[in-house]
Structure 1
């Protein structure tokens, strides 16, 4: 017999519970937390209960399925998706799509399972399409694809998911024969049309009492509650109406916050206030439509505050390094190369200690095929055994291969993961390696492990659909946004389609416009409590904007006022480095303001405290003068930006090759008769010595040919130059220097000394006239960015001045003399641009075509004096820890590698 009881308010449940006998009746609920709470209530009343006393609706449907079709296997959504992808690829020609459309097809099966599995569903839908051509054009093909795949899963693979069970049970006419317990159905707004039909069928043999929520505003959700209308129409007699309960007297607050983090802070502060006022933790509830989005951050705040919660603290299995490395290793050996996977799987091995991380990243940031692994011999050896991905493999074969790459000593997690796989896949399940790995990844993504059990005496932290509780008298509702309360359909059914299908065919599919979360929220808001806080955060934790829900906007309150969150223990921790054990409110305010202003770039950063003075070079000095923050990023914070090995050969690699070639060709006595074959061998030797790598070996040949031609042109130019300046001899090639300098006393030392900077560098080339007259040359690939010598100091172009200063100070061990000229040697056109003393022209360089009044020995000394002054002042600023982002030219900020880390005002 079917009976309906109308419920105006959740508090009326007590009256029904008084007549409930758990020994002979089953109370049907929608969620696990409500089930556990009801079982505890029965224990307190009777001291015992049987398994069937309280059931989740999903548990009942599984029991019925097992009794009616025991050979049909219930599998998880991820495994069903793996099978679905295989079906779609095998039948791509028939379906017109392949596994890339799996997401859409699975969404249609989920949405339309009630029609797909109904004996007459497709034929009735075909007739409906004839009178609805627009809907037919929009989604008929997708429905047919979904039905084809769903029936393949059901009949060929004999599997079904939990969401499709009720739709499949429509096919059985003897449902009532496999269930004997009278039912009390308490499912709120979560009853579907198919479930209502199953309950009506069961009522033929057992008593079914349906508790129907019937608040005054039920017409706002008439589509969602339509299954109750059908049940009421088939019930015996008139629906029973319980005596109305008095309207609860409660305090309500409507709060608007800047974002989810502010919601969390205020929630924790409010809970602390309630606890301090003597309210029991069991009477406090934190509720959200999807509490899991809040829980990681909320749990950290509660822990810092010392507040216990009933909710378990769990972590995703994929957050474990051992599991992450395992999957990365399997992907890397499966041809699914990525730099992140390669890094994770390689850096757990002893061999990784022979490669610096920066070099590894430069080598493998760009990957195209498995051949790219040969860029490094060690990495290539580690990954030389790629898995055979051809054909399909059985479950045991995949498990055996996957376990071979598990390297952690602990096997607990891999057992949990593989147990899930073995429960869903049978021994004769055959899938491609790609699908097995994809399924394994989905298991890892979904699996959680508990690291701390919830405490029964703590506060309740739960999702909205499990929030009904007699104990929760002080409640905080978080995340009342439109995005969190409404589902988004992945199908092309319109709102009108849902209503037409219901009206014409009687199939009430889940309409995304009628949210069961929204319904449950309104129902809960009217249940008994003492204090309710309804919170809306304008942004989520990622910073995306959110829209307030219709329900939140309907509440009485100031919806425009932005509430400031209450303070928490973590706020106090942030002030811990302030002087004094209990900083005043003013001190804390000033501290926060300072940090915010520094982060926004409106206040200078505090100087960095140096334990050791950094090593300096000409390029380092130029970086500091270009912008102190660039220098700090490279020298203090040790950030690196190595060129990636990519299809486009970088400038650094080209420069290394040209410099090394010129070094060989300028060896005295200089030869001018090198041929192409000899240069070819030289370049091959340079490549091996410099360990130059390329994304594709085919890039090397054209680059080598280009440098052979460059070498021949270089020899021709040098021959002509030395025929004109016969005394020219190259006395320094890639000449290194190193010394120690005290910026306060300007003393120079050969050995390390306290409070001294280590100065080092390398001069590309030094030419001599055979005596003590010298010319410095610095190779450049192009003339771009080179200034006239009169602008070197102004533009902070210090490299040639720095080298000249080093030579004039006599800091090279084997080369001494007077510097007459310093030049950039542009090997694009082999021009020399720089500074020369015109009066000394003729021996090592020609006189300029136009007279330069600044090309004098006096100007040289002035340059050296100004450079020395700038050098000492710059080193003093570095020693004091200056790291302010003060670019010499704001144009450099557009291409700066460190702009994301910078706090310059114009970048914030």
Structure 2
């Protein structure tokens, strides 16, 4: 017999529970927490209970399925998705789509299961499509794809997911034959039309009492509650319970800046209630999705010392051993990614042979497996790829995957594989990609318990599990429209849902009518003493949120922003209880000092330099640009190497051009190089310099471009030497090294204490073969090059540095008087820099415009000023200056060290 009992308030359920016999009846609930609480009540009253005394609805459907079709296996959504992708790829021509559309097809199966699995569902729907052409054009093809795949899963693979069970049970007429225990159904808003039909069929042989939520505002959820309306019409008896007088309770409506403020206020309020003597069991924190809040909320509650009923769990994917395992499997499978390669490579001993910066430079951009050959060490580790051809059975996949598990921790891998073995039978066969994808989904969802919840702690739960007689002080957080509304992943419109229900009687889950919203309203009317309803304007990522309709409907101030209550963490920051303990005082003083330094109110201390760093022209420039950049490079040994990518970087371009010019300017210089000879020279340079390209196909056009550059260079040099016949190249890529004491300015070629090692390399030195020299520094473009009058102002000291070295006689085999310093721009073969006009005509032409600073006196002035700047800079370096004080703050936006920098304007 079917009986419906309208429930105006959850408190009325106590009257029904008083007459409930757990030994002969089953109480049907929707969630695990409610089931556990009900079992505790039965245990307190009866002293015992059997498994069938309280059942979740999903448990009942599983029992019925097992008894009616024992050969059908219940599998998880991720495993069903893996099989679905295989089906879609195998039947791509029939379906018109492949596995890339798996998410959409799976959503249609979920949404349309009641129609898909109904014996007459498709025929009724086809008739409906004829009168609704617009809907037919929009989603009929997707429905047919979903039906094809769903039937393949059922008939060929014999699997089903928990969400499809009730729809599938429509196919059986003997439901009442496999169930003989009377039911009390307490599912609130979580009941579908199909479930209602199953309950009606069961009522033919057993008593089924349905508790129908009957609030005064139920007309707002007519579509959601339609199953109860159908049951009421078919029931033989509708029992009316005595009305319950609603007790007065306090309600607060609060608006906060964001989720973090909600958490802080909730924790502060809970602590206040506990201090007032309220029991922890009477307090609840409720959210539509509590897992969004839990990681931060748990930390605050732990700091307060507040016990919580909720278990403390962690995702399996948070374990380094699991992350490395999956990264290695993906890398060995040819699914190249920089992050996976990094995680798996730096877990091995071979990684000690390669600096991290070099690894990132080589492998930040990966395209194909051949890219692994950029480094011999990495290639040796990963060149043996897994054989991905053909399909593998379950056991073959497990055996291969376990070969790469290299951690002593085996508990978690057992948990992961147990899930895989439960869903896939030994005969299941998939391609490697699908097995690995399924394994990844298990790892992403699997949790392990770190600490069991306290049975008498406060309740922290999701909205759908929040009904509890014990919870009298409740805080509702996350009351946003985004959290309460379901997302529709199909092409069905709201009108389609209503038309399908009206015309052919299929009431599908309409995302416009939220069961979360319904439960929230029911909970708000449940008996309690104090309820707080909170809305946070932003989520934890900073995205804006909009308040839900229910929160806006509550009486209260919705505009004012509330400040959260203080927590234990807030108190500790202002506490003086640690005063008097030397180590604590020192630590506190150090923290305060670092905060002042980060704010720019206090200078950073100088670095204690055990050994003076090596100095070059570029390092002097970088120190003057910003001492922190110099410190990052010279003290902290950080590197910023160019990435190997499809776009060839400037450093590689410069290396190749410099090396080519070095080859072509060998004396006696010849100008009749053929294209074939230049081609050979460039190949030799590529091998010698170990130049790498993301794809070898990039080298051919790049080489061709440099052959053309070499020919243009030779043509220009020939014309130059025809005009300035004394010109000879005396040195190419000329290296120098010496030791300098910045205090005494004493120079030595041998190492000495308290001396800087100065080194560098001059691109090219031309001369007349007697005494006059011209220094050339190759540049790809004229961008960033200043006139010589602005060299000190713009900290362009490289050419002056080279001239100072030559004039001091510190180059071997090269000596003379420097009469010209030029940046040699090889884009247009223009020379820009400083020259002494009195010597024009021999090694360079005279200027078209008179330059009053192009004199020997200006040269001596430059040398004197450079020496002063150099000695002063070396003195500052010796003192350990490393403060982030850029000469121009605009350079910070493009600085490679900005993430490590502690400059106040970047914090």
TM-score (norm 1): 0.91
State how far apart, in whole Å, the 2-side matches of 1:853 and 1:660 are.
36
Q: Secondary structure at the match of 1:449?
A: strand
Q: 1:578 to 1:530 in 2, by over 3 A?
A: closer
User: CA, structure 1 residues 324+547, in 2 after alignment: closer, same or farther (shift >3 Å)?
Assistant: same
Shift of 1:791: 2.0
Matches within 5 A, 1:500-899: 500-571=499-570, 607=604, 610-612=607-609, 616-626=615-625, 640-666=639-665, 679-711=678-710, 714=713, 724=724, 726=726, 728=728, 730-731=730-731, 733-737=733-737, 739=739, 742=742, 760-768=759-767, 773-809=772-808, 818-841=817-840, 844-871=843-870, 881=881, 883-884=883-884, 886=886, 888=888, 890=890, 892=891, 895-897=894-896
1:210 aligns with 2:207: no
Query: What is the CA deviation profile of residues 101-149 of structure 1, one whole-angstrom value per residue up to 9, with x for unaligned ones?
Result: 1111111111111111111112222222222222222222221221121
Task: Tell me the alpha carbon deviations over residues 268-301 of structure 1, each in whole angstroms, 9 at most, x when there is no partner.
Answer: 2222333333332222211110011111122222
How far apart are residue 413 of structure 1 and its match? 2.3
Mapped contact 1:392–1:431 kept (Cα < 8 A): yes
Distance 1:632 1:287 in 2: 51
Q: Indicate yes or no: 2:434 matched with 1:443.
A: no
1:897–1:216 Cα change, 3 Å? same
- Counterpart CA distance in 2 for 1:521 and 1:608 is 57
Q: Please report how far the alpha carbon of residue 261 of structure 1 lies from its aligned counterpart in structure 2 after TM superposition.
A: 1.6
The more displaced of 303-312 and 204-213 is 303-312
Contact 1:263-1:537 at 8 Å conserved across structures: yes
Distance in structure 1 (CA, Å) of the matches to 2:560 and 2:213: 34
Does residue 1:68 correspond to 2:87, yes or no? Answer: no
Q: Is 1:123–2:123 an aligned residue pair?
A: yes
* Distance change (3 Å), C-alpha of 1:566 and 1:810: farther
Residue of structure 1 equivalent to 2:467: 468
Q: Specify the alignment match of 1:244 in structure 2.
A: 244
Residue 345 of structure 2 contacts residue 378 of structure 2 at CA under 8 Å; is this kept in 1?
yes
Helix, strand or coil for the counterpart of 1:52? helix
Distance in 2 of aligned mates of 1:623 and 1:269: 51
Alpha-carbon separation, structure 2, partners of 1:420 and 1:787? 67
Q: 1:718 to 1:132 in 2, by over 3 A?
A: closer
Conserved in 1, the CA contact under 8 Å of 2:729 and 2:764? Answer: no
1:134/1:716 Cα in 2 relative to 1: closer, same or farther (>3 Å)? closer
Aligned to 2:284: 285
- Cα offset, 1:667, TM superposition: 5.1
Alignment check: 8 A CA contact 2:64 2:175 kept: yes
> Which SS does the other structure have where 1:390 is aligned?
coil
Q: CA deviation at 1:70?
A: 0.4
Could you tell me how far apart the structure 1 residues matched to 2:780 and 2:155 are? 69
> Residue 237 of structure 2 aligns to a residue in which SS?
coil
Whether the 8 Å CA contact 1:318–1:444 is kept in 2: the answer is: yes
1:170 aligns with 2:148: no
Q: Distance between the aligned counterparts of 1:350 and 1:211, measured in 2?
A: 64
Question: What CA deviation, in whole Å up to 9, does each residue of 1:632-678 have, x standing for no partner?
Answer: 66567766432221222222112112223333455566666766666
**Matched residue of 1:435: which SS?**
helix
1:27 aligns to what? 27
Number of residue equivalences: 899
What is the Cα deviation at residue 844 of structure 1? 4.6
For the residue of structure 2 that corresponds to 1:366, the secondary structure is coil
TM-score, normalisation: structure 2: 0.91
Q: Unpaired segments of 5 or more residues in structure 1?
A: 583-589
The worse-fitting range, judged by mean Cα deviation, of 717-726 and 527-536 is 717-726
- Per-residue deviation at 1:548? 0.5
CA distance in structure 2 between the partners assigned to 1:747 and 1:603 by the alignment = 38
629-638 vs 199-208, which moves further = 629-638
Deviations, residues 184-217 of structure 1 (Å, cap 9, x unaligned): 1111110111111111111122221211111222
Residue 238 to residue 44, structure 1, CA distance change in 2 (3 Å): closer
CA RMSD, Structure 1 to Structure 2 (Å)? 3.5
Q: What does 1:217-366 align with in structure 2 at a 5 Å threshold? A: 217-247=217-247, 249-366=248-365
Judged with a 3 Å threshold, the aligned counterparts in structure 2 of structure 1 residues 33 and 784 are, in CA distance, closer, same or farther, namely same
**Residue in 1 aligned with 2:584?**
none
Distance 1:251 1:581, change over 3 A: farther
CA distance in 1, matches of 2:513, 2:338: 45
Compared CA separation, residues 688 and 605, structure 1 to 2 (3 A): farther
Is the CA contact (8 Å cut-off) linking 1:808 and 1:818 kept in structure 2? yes
Partners of 1:271 and 1:595 in 2: CA distance: 34
Distance 1:230 1:873, change over 3 A: farther
SS for the counterpart of 1:240 is coil
Identify which range, 434-443 or 701-710, moves more after superposition: 701-710
User: Which secondary structure does the structure 1 equivalent of 2:329 belong to?
Assistant: helix
Q: How far 1:32 moved relative to its partner?
A: 0.8
Change over 3 Å in CA distance of 1:270–1:739 after alignment to 2: farther
| Residue of structure 2 equivalent to 1:585 | none
Quickly say closer, same or farther: Cα 1:288–1:176, change in 2 above 3 A. Answer: same
1:152 and 2:149 correspond: no
Aligned partners of 2:480 and 2:203: how far apart in 1? 39
Match of 2:483 in 1: 484
Counterpart-to-counterpart distance in 1, 2:376 and 2:842: 50
Alpha-carbon contact 1:725-1:845 (below 8 Å) kept: no
48-57 or 410-419, which moves further after superposition?
410-419
- Could you tell me how far apart the structure 2 residues matched to 1:746 and 1:36 are? 84
SS of residue matched to 2:173: coil
Counterpart-to-counterpart distance in 2, 1:534 and 1:608? 50
The 1:664/1:424 distance shift into structure 2, 3 A limit, reads same
Cα deviation for residue 680 of structure 1 reads 4.6
1:663/1:734 contact within 8 Å kept? no
Residue 530 of structure 1 deviates from its aligned partner by: 2.4
For 2:846 and 2:295, the matched residues in 1 are separated by 74
1:563 and 1:754 map into 2 onto residues whose CA distance is: 65
Residue 587 (structure 1) aligns with: none
Do the aligned partners of residues 572 and 856 (structure 1) sit closer, same or farther apart at CA in structure 2, a change above 3 Å counting? farther
The alpha-carbon distance between structure 1 residues 118 and 661, as it changes in their structure 2 partners (threshold 3 A), is same
Q: Quick one: distance in 2 between partners of 1:880 and 1:253? A: 59
- Deviation per CA, 1:533-572, whole angstroms, max 9, x where unpaired? 2111111112111110111111122111112223333345
Deviations, residues 39-83 of structure 1 (Å, cap 9, x unaligned)? 122222222211111111100110011011100110111111111
Q: Distance in 2 between matches of 1:576 and 1:805?
A: 60
- 1:11/1:528 contact within 8 Å kept: yes
727-736 vs 378-387, greater mean Cα deviation: 727-736
Report the Cα offset of residue 619 of structure 1: 2.9
Residues 633 and 215 of structure 1, relative CA distance in 2, 3 Å threshold: farther
* Contact 1:28 1:55 (8 Å CA) reproduced: yes
Once the two structures are superposed, residues 742-778 of structure 1 have per-residue CA deviations (whole angstroms, 9 ceiling, x without a partner) of: 5x88777878889877654332233455566543221
Pairwise CA distance, 1:702: 3.7
Change (3 A) 1:763 1:481: same
Deviations 1:286-336 (A, max 9, x none): 111001111112222222333332212212112222222222222223232
Residue by residue over 1:771-817, the C-alpha shift from the partner in whole angstroms, topping out at 9 and shown as x without a partner, is 66543221112333322211222333222123333444555577665
Q: How far does the alpha carbon of each residue in 1:307-366 deviate from its partner, in whole angstroms, 9 at most, with x for none?
A: 332212212112222222222222223232222222222222222221211111111222
- SS of the equivalent of 2:238 reads coil
In the alignment, does 2:34 pair up with 1:37?
no
SS in 2 for 1:294: helix
Of 76-85 and 393-402, the range deviating more from structure 2: 393-402
Per-residue deviation, 1:703 = 3.2
Relative to structure 1, the CA distance from residue 203 to residue 362 in structure 2 (aligned partners, 3 Å threshold; closer, same or farther) is same
State how far apart, in whole Å, the 2-side matches of 1:480 and 1:512 are.
17
Alpha-carbon distance in structure 2 between the residues aligned to 1:672 and 1:833 = 24
Kept after mapping to 1: 8 A contact 2:390/2:431: yes
**Which shows bigger deviation, 335-344 or 704-713?**
704-713
